[in-house]
Structure 1
Amino acid sequence: MKKLILGTVLGVAGMLVSCGPKSVAVTGPKYTSSEQLAQGKTIFENSCNRCHKLPDPAKHDDQGWINTLSRMAPKAKLSDDQHQMVYDYLISANKK
């Protein structure tokens, strides 16, 4: 009986998690205004610097930043918009 109840509870919990809101992955640039890029730089400097030295924007190409930020943005607790702004700042700084 305990196995049946535990299985039911775990099944319902799994369904609730799978039906929750999905994070939208960064797939390319979105924000281009100087204000949004400046905000991305501020988020990058304040959020990423909490745990480690800031990497050089030239460290990765566009796809490399997508991969890196996909791992790091959840650790930094960035919202989807913050994640996007950081990415857009990094690729804009990388192209200079």
Structure 2
Amino acid sequence: MKKLILGMILGSASLVVSCGPKSMAVTGPKYTSSEQLAQGKTIFENSCNRCHKLPDPAKHDDQGWLKTLSRMAPKAKLSEDQHQMVYDYLISVNKK
């Protein structure tokens, strides 16, 4: 009986984990072409401006933008590629 209950608990836990939100795995710069950085700027301007005034790219250093975008990208419903492009744009124009 204990094995059955333990099996049900483990099965339920794995289901919850597999259905959880996907991780936005931006860990550093990836895109460097001017086209991709321009796309990042456009996504930043259009997505972030929907809910609040656009922050100055110099507001955060690279690590600060990682933390901020990890929190904000899901709210803006950005795909992982969009998230990456916004991050790469922001760190390309900030001077920190």
User: How large is the RMSD of aligned CA atoms in angstroms?
Assistant: 2.4
Q: Runs in 1 of length 4+ with deviation above 4 angstroms?
A: 9-14
Q: 1:16 maps to what in 2?
A: 15
Give the AA of the match of 1:15. S
Give the AA of the match of 1:29. P
Aligned residues: 89
Alignment identity in percent? 83
Which runs of structure 2 are paired with 1:15-94 in the superposition (5 Å)?
15-20=14-19, 22-94=22-94
Determine the C-alpha separation between the residues in 1 that align with 2:12 and 2:74. Answer: 21
Q: Tell me, which stretches of 5 or more residues in structure 2 are unaligned?
A: 1-7
Q: What's the TM-score once normalised by structure 2's chain length? A: 0.81
Q: What's the TM-score once normalised by structure 1's chain length? A: 0.81
Greater Cα offset, 28-37 or 18-27: 18-27
